[in-house]
Chains A and B, each alone.
Chain A
């Protein structure tokens, strides 16, 4: 009983933490860095890995977008995750599969670089089971930390 109460308290605390983390308005997390695109991409991958995640792919999708003003080759989708988490989520919560693995979109805006990712508050609307809350909370903290690092590295650039 005590253990159950403790678990519930942790879940409530984690839920509260998840929804009070900064910069998570409206299901998106965004950041801007003064790093040029190429350096930003390299740094982003390094930061993702430094936080214990595996980068599974870096997709190019900027097919012939130069006419719209975008720099050639300056748009990527970085996919990443923790293999065990992705496997478990996909097995237990198929409704989450279309959103897996985690992604950060990175693109150049003039000389700066922007980062956009789905906030874990969005995932919590897809699969809201209480045992997932600690994971969402950790994701939110890690994504917040990664984006913050990108901002800081840009400021120091």
Chain B
């Protein structure tokens, strides 16, 4: 009796068809996730990290050594936790799915390797010895306390030829995101195109690397400067003088402190027709070279508050002087490099406002 192969062929065709449909489903799901990831990356990440991860305000993400050593878990936590005080904000509003899509998109830059996975087990070494090795081999770039390179990596705070500043290894966001085994892999791999080279080339053995990793865990995590959270956003002082006298005192105080008045006009200049402006809302812009230069070097986005500005208003018979409190800068830009500048400027503003409004 001849064997009828037709049912087998039908079953085979059905199995193949089912697999193709299933595979195309997985493929289209991945494609959809990557497309959504690309959209979200453009929206949330590209302004700092560049459209293709080449870096800019933020660090370059498309470096092959970075993608080959950074686990998905590390990138996930970094997006969630940011790097408090080192510019990278927290993106706690992004859902699990959204962060996963962004990571899928980032992985599309990686041609050869798959995302690495690491054990979360702690690496035990000799932290005392690790500290000595760290001081010898790592501290020059990463700082004695793991505070990272000076500045924050923001465009103008580093040489234009340098793609990256040494990251702050004592940052709470970094310590919470990187597993010991990922740090070890990074030390072994190094980061081509950056000054970070493999510690193997420095003659360090496995035990030495374990000691360094253990030592890094002893860093005291740093991040946001909490004592500025309750700072007022705006300084407002009522003047004991008339409007014109307060204005004169304001100009004198600004100049006395070594600042130059750049321009003055009404708040509605450019909006109101000539001759109808409200002269009782008067804005004075001032600066000096050092002030502008230092501000932009610390954070290129500081132009939002440059030049310095004080506004004088008369409202219901009361003359007041208003200024933004510079201590909000570091919170707004998540940039601890602005704390000292903010403090200096705060003293300046309070002194000028005081001189202008009372004798």
Contacts and interface: CB of A to CB of B under 8 A. Distances in A.
Interface of A: 22-23, 25-28, 30-32, 34, 54-57, 59, 61-65, 68-70, 75, 77, 79, 81, 83, 86-87, 90-91, 94-95, 97-101, 103, 105, 107, 109-110, 112, 114-118, 122, 125-126, 151
B306 A98 contact: no
A25 B91 contact: yes
B304 interface: yes
A57 B269 contact: yes
Given A32-B46, A68-B293, A125-B233, A105 B301 contact: yes
A101 B271 CA distance: 10
Nearest to B318: A94
A105 B304 contact: yes
Contacts, number: 146
Contacts of A101: 267, 270-271
Interface of B: 42-44, 46-48, 50-51, 56-57, 89-91, 93, 155-156, 159-160, 233-234, 236, 267-272, 278, 281, 285, 287, 289, 292-293, 296-297, 300-301, 303-304, 306-307, 309, 311, 313, 315, 320, 322-324, 332-334
A86 B268 contact: yes
Contact of B234 (A55, A61, A98, A105): A98
Contacts of B57: 109, 114
A132 B287 CA distance: 33
Contact of B304 (A64, A77, A94, A151): A77
A118 B329 CA distance: 12
14 contacts: A26-B89, A28-B301, A61-B303, A65-B296, A77-B303, A90-B267, A94-B313, A94-B320, A94-B322, A107-B303, A116-B303, A118-B332, A126-B234, A151-B42
B270 A55 contact: yes
A109 B281 contact: no
Contacts of B272: 83, 87
| CB-CB nearest 5 A-B residue pairs | A56-B270, A30-B47, A83-B271, A105-B303, A69-B160
A99 B324 contact: yes
Nearest to B40: A22
Contacts of B278: 87, 90
Interface of A is mostly: mixed
Given A98-B311, A116-B301, A54 B332 contact: no
Contacts of B324: 98-99
A126 B155 contact: no
A75 to B, nearest CB: 6
B268 A68 contact: no
Contacts of A59: 285, 307
B268 A83 contact: yes
Contacts of A30: 47-48, 301
A35 to B, nearest CB: 12
Contact of B56 (A32, A81, A91): A32
Nearest to B310: A98
A61 B281 contact: no
Contacts of A90: 267-268, 278, 281, 313
A56 B271 contact: yes
B89 A95 contact: no
B309 A98 contact: yes
B300 A97 contact: no
B267 to A, nearest CB: 6
A115 B304 CA distance: 11
Contacts of A70: 156, 296
Contacts of A75: 296, 303
Contact of B47 (A31, A34, A99): A31
Contacts of A31: 46-47
Given A68-B293, A98-B323, A56 B269 contact: yes
B349 to A, nearest CB: 11
A86 B56 contact: no
A118 B90 CA distance: 17
A86 B43 contact: no
B307 A61 contact: yes
A28 B332 contact: yes
A65 B293 contact: yes
B154 to A, nearest CB: 10
Contacts of B322: 94-95, 97-98
